[in-house]
Amino acid sequence: MTDRILNNRYKLGEQIGSGGMSIVYKAEDLTTGETVAIKVLRSELSENDQLIRKFNQEAESAKRLTHPNIVRTRDAGYDDNIYYIVRDLVDGMTLKEYIDKEGPLAPDHAADIALKVAFGLQYAHSNGVIHRDIKPHNIIIDNDGSVKLTDFGIARVLNDETRTTEYGKSLVGTVYYTSPEQIRGLNVDERTDVYSLGVVLFEMLTGTLPFDGENAVNIAMQHVTKEAESARKYNKAVNTSLDNIIRNAMAKKLDGRYRSIDDMIRDLQKYLAGNDMGIFRIAPATVRSSSSKKGISAKKHAEKERRRKKNADDINAFLVNMLLVVLLSGLLVMLIYGIYTVGSTIIKNNFVVSTVDVPDVCGRPEAEAQKLLEDKQLIYRAVSTEYNSKIPAGYVISQTPADGETVNEDSLVQVVVSLGAFEIEIPYCVGMDIVSAEYEIKKSGYITIGKYNYVDSNEPENTIISQSLPSGTYSLDGNYVTIYFDISKGPSDEYVELRNFVGYTISTVQELAKDITIKVTYEHSDTVGKDVVISQNIPAGTVVEKGEEVHFVVSLGPEKLVEMEVLISIPDNVNISSDGVLFVTIKQIRNGDFVTVYTGNANVENSMIEVTLEGSGTQTYYVYANNAFICTKTVDFD
Amino acid sequence: MNFEFFAVSHKGLVRENNEDYFCIPSSSPLPKGLVVLADGMGGHKSGEVASKMASDTFVTEFCALGDDKTITEKLLLSLEKANSAVYTAATDKLFKNNMGTTMTACYVEDTKAVFLNVGDSRAYLVRDNEAVQVTQDHSVVQELLIKSIITEEEAANHPQKNVITRAIGIEPTVNGDIFIKDIRHGDHIVLCSDGLTAHIDLNDLMILFDPACTVDSIANTLRDLALAQGGTDNVTVVVIRCD
């Protein structure tokens, strides 16, 4: 494989990894010189056209994922019976190798790695991409300590989207991290990634797997039927809160699992901030403790309705019974009256729902907020945590429902709690090219790049022209911040269409023709005025390169003619008539034609004749006497 | 007991080539009672190579082994030989575990049938209008179903129906399952690759096994029915009639 070139672009180098479905090579992108990682897929996968199409679709999805915690997919293609995927090359090791090397990790370290993976997943999920194959082999710890997810896409095509019958029989692979719903062949959603991350977290903390066995089916079974042991059994440093996080992630039933990766992020951040008092096991749907944000109003409504109905039915039943008793026996009236009074009070106290106004808990410490709410028979629930530049750690940032709203008693009031201020460094990227800027941004870990805005500029193509956030320290509000760049499209065209300059004065031409190099020669003209362009050597309408030389012929105006008495010596051998008169013809070459400029008799005196000629500059004449050429004469009129 | 054998194999209507293979008694040096069916896997047509190599090696070894060994021992030893042959022949250095095959074999003599199975091809015993599966599939979905980890419905629609847990040629050694059954006059034994059972249920087709039908009509009809239902995989059927 080494030195093989794919699609004339990627030159394969040394092998750097392998798996059941593929092998990874270092490679050189011959068009840019960059070193990349290329994953080559197994031959029978590479041969199936339908699969290739699906892989390409997945690669397109994966290419759109740009995030500090995701290894970027650059390209994918097919060449010579090989389907390959091109990714950034990350210098580092897989989490699998890291755990093998370091042993069980300290809880904070493991939670931090899990948090970074979760950030990557959060981004992917919000872009509609589920990983489906989260495992330590797909998590890279690079030499700077950054945590990056890789291998989006293939798992989706092979495990869930495609019936394995489409590409033939295969031997079962790793099932250590597979979610119960995947084992059962059901449709999976983002929560399958939460489960797998839970398993990874367990493994990071203990160095072992929650489910292991002698064969794949044995392990698969356990995911569906067996409760995992507590990680605390293997690592005493794991506290209840962290254990709860693992259990919440690894819940077999979806209603007992984190509803989304966001909820897992909330708990991990709480744990890391030392604020882990509020990390509870998620209780599957029972009357009070539903943690579903969307479902709350529906559930509350259903409960309200149920209670109303029960209330109405109970009262009806009771009244009917009471009437029957009264009708049957008047002697019991006193006793019945007593029961009725007490009974209706009981009903009123337990079944009629009262309402309450939601107090304002924003800006208050959690404990105080909780007490304020509970004093009003409301339930306090912290649903997420965020950094905030203004609100101190442990204080409430926002609440839902808002203060002043009227709700039923026992309603849930959800708050966002502050993690306090957190400053990050925003790098100065103006003037950098996109690749360098992306690198700088990714290094920081808490910044994502928003959609690029391409603008006209004289700067070279792909240079950052401006950034939406100033460089320097920045106080986070939220879990990360998005920066936007204006990027130069590159200087506009290097070509210009030549216009017509004929008829313009040369000074006008010099003003107008900024994109070309002007060369001028001068000529007399009787028809074209002085300083006006007579002709241009490249016709108007021609597209030329900027800076192209264009030659203009500019008029000097009509020739200024000077009259001059010219003396011409007559050679001795010329036959002169007796009265000293010579028939002279003087010719000149003008515009390629041999024209006669003088014809007539001239008096010869002292072997000379005098002729009046008119011209400008230096002219050469050919003198004929008696129609025979005798000599040339050069005259300088100036 | 007299035995009649017939087998057919077809690449189906979807696959590019046929990676199934079978051996039945029709020419020497095959011993009179042995049938073998194999369903190969692997890219670049290595499935074809694997199923043929495994079957031929298996049969040759079985014939070469002396009668001092029981049928079961002979079957297991032949399996080991076949496995080694495919395992060492895996020439695709690009991917280890790439070339393999299932195998279902059956040896009949007198009133006994001994079955060997690795993978998800199957053997059935058809008696008194009922087809009973003799072997147990080494397929992820089937194993989960048998253990009631998943329901029948989940198994029927499972995306990973073609994922097997055991195969010849993948590891240096492989475990084969042995099943022993008594056979009676009028019994039929059917071996088939999963390309058949993907489309039909034998118990719906007991009429085919009427003594008036020939063994070739049984095999041909089963194959045709699978093709009529889509033929999504290679389909191979081996029929033994016990008279």
* Whether pLDDT at A611 is above 70: yes
CA angle B145, B151, B152 (to 5 degrees): 80
Q: Would you state the structure tokens that stand for residue A213, as one six-digit string?
A: 């066995």
In CATH, what number is assigned to the domain containing residue A52? 3.30.200.20
Residues A229 and A369 in one domain: no
Shortest Cα–Cα distance, B119 to chain A (Å): 10
Dist. CA B237–CA B21, nearest whole Å: 10
pLDDT given at position A352 = 66
Binding-site residues on chain A for chain B (CB distance < 8 A):
1, 18, 20, 23, 40, 42-47, 159-165, 168-172, 183-186, 215-217, 220-221, 224-225
- Across the range B119-145, mean pLDDT stands at 94
Residues of A taking part in catalysis:
133
Task: Give the three-state DSSP class for A489.
Answer: coil
Residues of chain A with Cβ-Cβ distance to B154 below 8 Å are: 184-186
* Whether pLDDT at B219 is above 50: yes
Question: 221-240 in B: which are within 8 Å (CB) of A?
Answer: 232-233
Look at B163 and A170 and tell me if their CB atoms are within 8 Å.
yes
Least confident of A113-127, A147-161, B51-65: A147-161
Residues A155 and A47 in one domain: no
Residue A288 falls within a domain, yes or no?
no
In CATH, what number is assigned to the domain containing residue A547? 3.30.10.20
Dist. CA B211–CA B241, nearest whole Å: 9
The Cα-based distances of B154 to A183, A184, A438, A469, B149 in angstroms read 10, 6, 45, 52, 10
Q: Among all residues of chain A, which has the CA nearest to that of B195?
A: A165
Shortest Cα–Cα distance, B102 to chain A (Å): 10
CB of B217 closer than 8 Å to CB of B211: no
Shortest Cα–Cα distance, A168 to chain B (Å): 7
Look at B15 and A168 and tell me if their CB atoms are within 8 Å.
yes
Residues A262 and A167 in one domain: yes
Residues A208 and A237 in one domain: yes
- Across the range A471-495, mean pLDDT stands at 83
CB of B56 closer than 8 Å to CB of B22: no
Look at A44 and B143 and tell me if their CB atoms are within 8 Å.
no
* Whether pLDDT at B77 is above 80: yes
Dist. CA A64–CA A638, nearest whole Å: 78
Q: Which residues touch A252 (CB under 8 Å, ≥6 apart)?
A: A180, A223, A224
Residues A34 and A60 in one domain: yes
Shortest Cα–Cα distance, B79 to chain A (Å): 18
Domain residues of chain B, as ranges?
Answer: 16-192
User: Which residue, among B202, B65, B50, has the nearest Cα to B131 in the 3D structure?
Assistant: B202
Residues of chain A with Cβ-Cβ distance to B95 below 8 Å are: 18, 20, 23, 42-43
Of A43, A164, A217, the CB nearest to B44: A43
* Helices marked H in B29-109: 46-64, 71-89
Residues A549 and A611 in one domain: no
* Whether pLDDT at A200 is above 90: yes
pLDDT band at residue B165 under the 50/70/90 scheme: very high
User: Which residue, among B185, B201, B191, B192, has the nearest Cα to B241 in the 3D structure?
Assistant: B185
Query: H or E element: which one contains A366?
Result: helix A366-375
Per-residue pLDDT tens over the stretch A418-447: 888 888 889 999 988 888 888 888 777 788
Shortest Cα–Cα distance, A251 to chain B (Å): 16
Residue A289 falls within a domain, yes or no?
no
Q: Which domain holds residue A13?
A: 5-88
Residues A197 and A346 in one domain: no
What is the DSSP-derived secondary structure letter of residue A505?
Answer: B
Residues of chain B with Cβ-Cβ distance to A215 below 8 Å are: 165
Look at B160 and A47 and tell me if their CB atoms are within 8 Å.
no
CB of A381 closer than 8 Å to CB of A350: no
pLDDT band at residue A306 under the 50/70/90 scheme: low
* Residue at a domain's end among A33, A58, A88: A88
* Whether pLDDT at A108 is above 80: yes
Of B15, B140, B155, the CB nearest to A217: B140
Dist. CA A583–CA A634, nearest whole Å: 20
Query: CB-based contact (8 Å) between B169 and chain A?
Result: no
Q: Are strands B20-23 and B34-41 parallel, antiparallel or unpaired?
A: antiparallel
CATH class name, domain B16-192:
alpha beta
Structurally, how many domains does chain A consist of? 6
Look at A169 and B43 and tell me if their CB atoms are within 8 Å.
no
pLDDT band at residue A207 under the 50/70/90 scheme: very high
User: Which residue, among B40, B47, B153, B38, has the nearest Cα to B106 in the 3D structure?
Assistant: B38
Residues of chain A with Cβ-Cβ distance to B193 below 8 Å are: none
Residue A583 falls within a domain, yes or no?
yes
Of A170, A217, A220, the CB nearest to B162: A170
- Across the range A241-263, mean pLDDT stands at 93
Query: CB-based contact (8 Å) between B176 and chain A?
Result: no
Residues A322 and A393 in one domain: yes
* Whether pLDDT at A330 is above 80: no
Longest pairwise C-alpha distance within chain B: 53
Residue A199 falls within a domain, yes or no?
yes
Residues of chain B with Cβ-Cβ distance to A51 below 8 Å are: none
The Cα-based distances of A19 to A40, A516, A612, A627, B95 in angstroms read 10, 60, 105, 106, 8
pLDDT band at residue A121 under the 50/70/90 scheme: very high
Q: Among all residues of chain B, which has the CA nearest to that of A156?
A: B159
ipTM above 0.85, yes or no: no
Query: CB-based contact (8 Å) between B163 and chain A?
Result: yes
CB of B198 closer than 8 Å to CB of B233: yes
The percentage of residues in chain B with a pLDDT greater than 90, rounded to a whole number, is 67
Q: Are strands A170-171 and B163-164 parallel, antiparallel or unpaired?
A: parallel
Look at A42 and B164 and tell me if their CB atoms are within 8 Å.
no
Shortest Cα–Cα distance, A217 to chain B (Å): 6
* Whether pLDDT at A414 is above 60: yes
pLDDT given at position A158 = 61
CB of A120 closer than 8 Å to CB of A131: no
Question: Amino acid identity, residue A369?
Answer: A
Query: H or E element: which one contains B132?
Result: strand B130-133
Q: Rounded to two decimals, what is the model's pTM? A: 0.59
Q: Which residues touch A298 (CB under 8 Å, ≥6 apart)?
A: none
Residues A538 and A621 in one domain: no
Whole-number average pLDDT of chain A: 83
Of A172, A216, A225, the CB nearest to B149: A225
Q: Would you state the structure tokens that stand for residue A237, as one six-digit string?
A: 């440093």
Q: Among all residues of chain A, which has the CA nearest to that of B168?
A: A171
* Rg (chain B; Cα; Å): 17
Q: Which residues touch A587 (CB under 8 Å, ≥6 apart)?
A: A594, A595, A596, A597, A621, A622, A624
Look at B159 and A23 and tell me if their CB atoms are within 8 Å.
no
**B69-83 burial, b if ≥16 CB within 10 A, otherwise e?**
eebbebbbbbbbbbb
* Helices marked H in B65-204: 71-89, 140-146, 152-156, 194-197
* Whether pLDDT at A87 is above 80: yes
- Across the range A396-411, mean pLDDT stands at 86
In CATH, what number is assigned to the domain containing residue A260? 1.10.510.10
Look at B43 and A215 and tell me if their CB atoms are within 8 Å.
no
Q: Would you state the structure tokens that stand for residue A217, as one six-digit string?
A: 């089916």
The Cα-based distances of A276 to A240, A244, A250 in angstroms read 9, 10, 19
Look at B162 and A165 and tell me if their CB atoms are within 8 Å.
yes
Residues A143 and A267 in one domain: yes
The Cα-based distances of A102 to A91, A93, A96, A110, A206 in angstroms read 18, 12, 10, 11, 11
Look at B94 and A186 and tell me if their CB atoms are within 8 Å.
no
pLDDT band at residue B132 under the 50/70/90 scheme: very high
Residue A283 falls within a domain, yes or no?
no
Residues of chain B with Cβ-Cβ distance to A221 below 8 Å are: 144, 147, 149
Residues A395 and A271 in one domain: no
Dist. CA B103–CA B80, nearest whole Å: 12
Dist. CA B56–CA B85, nearest whole Å: 10
> Is the preceding peptide bond at B31 cis, omega within 30 degrees of 0?
no
Residue A346 falls within a domain, yes or no?
yes
Burial class from Cβ neighbours inside 10 Å (0-12, 13-18, 19+) for residue B51 reads buried
Query: Helix/strand/coil (H, E, C) string of A512-544?
Result: HCCCCEEEEEEEECCCCCCCEEEEECCCCCCEE
Look at A44 and B162 and tell me if their CB atoms are within 8 Å.
no
The Cα-based distances of A408 to A411, A555, A585, B128 in angstroms read 6, 96, 126, 69
| Residue A436 CB neighbours (<10 A) | 14
Highest-pLDDT range among A334-343, A502-511, B120-129: B120-129
Residues A382 and A325 in one domain: yes
Q: Would you state the structure tokens that stand for residue A330, as one six-digit string?
A: 């008047």
Residue A63 falls within a domain, yes or no?
yes
Shortest Cα–Cα distance, B74 to chain A (Å): 26
Look at B140 and A220 and tell me if their CB atoms are within 8 Å.
yes
User: Which residue, among A213, A152, A154, has the nearest Cα to B165 in the 3D structure?
Assistant: A213
Q: Would you state the structure tokens that stand for residue A48, as one six-digit string?
A: 């199936």
* Helices marked H in A434-503: 434-444
Per-residue pLDDT tens over the stretch A255-305: 889 999 999 998 998 888 877 677 888 877 644 433 444 434 444 555 555
Look at A165 and B232 and tell me if their CB atoms are within 8 Å.
yes
Residues of chain A with Cβ-Cβ distance to B39 below 8 Å are: 169
* Whether pLDDT at A393 is above 50: yes
